[in-house]
C-alpha cells in the first residue's frame, strides 16, 4: 500500500509541475468535499453490499483547472457483516478535450485507482485499475452525448492464489442527455456493459448489464449542492448479478 501511495503522490507531483510550467488562469487548487448515501453499492454491475445501504464520502482535488486531479474515496456498509469490504480508493486522473466546438469534439479522461481494503492484508486483497473514458458531446443530434470507457483491473500481488483470476477488462457504452424542466435540469443516462473477464475467473465474457438513471442538482447555499439520483439496473448475466436492482443515491457536496 505504501508503494501505491508513493506512486500516486509522484504522479500528482508531475501534474503539478507540468501545470506550473504551463501557467494557469486559476491560482487556486479546487477542493470538493462530498458525502453520498447510497441505498445499494453497485460496482460494475456487482451488488457488493446486498440490500444494505452505504456511506461514501470523498475529497477531490482539482489542480488549478489544468485537468490534473486526485481523489480519496471511501465506502462502508451502514450495517454489520461487511467489515472486510470497507475500502479506501486512491485516485489520480487527467482530463481534457480535443476539437472543441466541432462535430468531432472529444472529452477524455485517464484515471488510475488503488483499491485499499484496509481491514485485510494489503498484499492479499488490494486491487488496481486503469480507466480510459471518452465522450462525444457534438456527435449525435438532439443534445445526446455518446460515451465509451474501458477499465483494466489487476491484483496488486499477482502471486496470491485467490486473486490470480480476478483481473480483466470491462467496456461501457453510454448515452446521456440533459433535459430542462423550467429552470431545473435533469440528467438522463443509460449504458450497456460488456464484461471481458473483469473481477473474476468465473465471470462470463458477455454483455453483463444495462443501467438507466436520472439525477438533478439543487444549490442549497453558495457552493453547497444536493444531488439526488435514481438508477435501475437490468442484469443479463448471472455470473455478475442474478437480479435486477433499483437504487438511489443522495449526494451533498461543497466546493471551496
Q: What is the pLDDT of residue 183?
A: 93
- Locate 241 and state its grid cell: 448479478
Check whether 171 has a pLDDT greater than 60: yes
Check whether 195 has a pLDDT greater than 90: yes
For the segment 3-25, the average pLDDT, to the nearest whole number, is 51
CB 115 within 8 A of CB 84: no
For the segment 101-115, the average pLDDT, to the nearest whole number, is 95
E strands, the chain, in order: 29-38, 42-43, 46-47, 54-63, 68-77, 87-98, 106-116, 127-136, 145-155, 168-181, 184-196, 205-216, 218-221, 224-235, 245-255
Sign of the CA dihedral with 114 first, then 152, 68, and 21 last: positive
* Mean pLDDT (the chain, rounded): 88
Apex 167 CA angle, 165 and 170, nearest 5: 130
Check whether 202 has a pLDDT greater than 70: yes
- Give the confidence band of 159 by pLDDT, cuts at 50, 70, 90: low
Check whether 253 has a pLDDT greater than 90: yes
- Locate 83 and state its grid cell: 467489515
- Locate 125 and state its grid cell: 486483497
Amino acid at each position: 500500500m505504501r508503494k501505491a501511495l508513493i506512486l500516486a503522490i509522484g504522479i500528482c507531483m508531475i501534474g503539478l509541475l507540468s501545470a506550473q510550467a504551463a501557467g494557469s488562469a486559476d491560482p487556486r487548487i479546487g477542493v470538493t468535499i462530498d458525502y453520498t448515501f447510497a441505498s445499494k453499492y453497485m460496482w460494475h454491475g456487482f451488488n457488493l453490499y446486498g440490500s444494505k445501504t452505504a456511506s461514501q464520502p470523498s475529497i477531490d482535488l482539482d489542480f488549478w483547472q489544468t485537468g490534473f486531479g486526485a481523489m480519496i474515496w471511501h465506502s462502508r456498509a451502514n450495517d454489520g457483516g461487511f467489515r472486510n469490504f470497507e475500502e479506501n480508493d486512491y485516485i489520480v486522473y487527467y482530463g481534457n478535450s480535443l476539437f472543441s466546438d466541432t462535430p468531432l469534439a472529444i472529452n477524455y479522461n485517464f484515471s488510475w485507482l488503488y483499491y485499499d481494503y484496509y481491514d485485510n492484508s494489503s498484499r492479499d486483497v488490494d486491487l488496481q485499475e486503469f480507466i480510459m473514458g471518452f465522450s462525444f458531446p457534438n456527435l449525435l443530434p438532439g443534445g445526446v452525448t455518446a460515451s465509451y470507457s474501458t477499465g483494466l483491473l489487476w491484483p496488486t500481488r499477482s502471486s496470491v492464489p485467490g486473486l490470480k483470476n480476478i483481473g480483466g477488462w470491462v467496456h461501457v457504452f453510454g448515452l446521456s442527455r440533459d433535459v430542462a424542466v423550467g429552470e431545473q435540469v435533469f440528467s438522463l443516462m443509460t449504458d450497456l456493459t460488456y464484461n471481458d473477464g473483469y473481477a473474476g475467473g468465473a465471470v462470463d465474457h458477455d454483455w453483463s448489464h444495462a443501467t438507466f438513471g436520472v439525477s438533478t442538482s439543487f444549490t442549497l447555499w453558495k457552493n453547497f449542492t444536493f444531488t439526488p439520483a435514481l438508477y435501475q439496473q437490468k442484469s443479463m448475466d448471472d455470473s455478475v448479478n442474478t437480479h435486477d436492482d433499483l437504487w438511489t443515491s443522495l449526494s451533498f457536496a461543497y466546493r471551496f
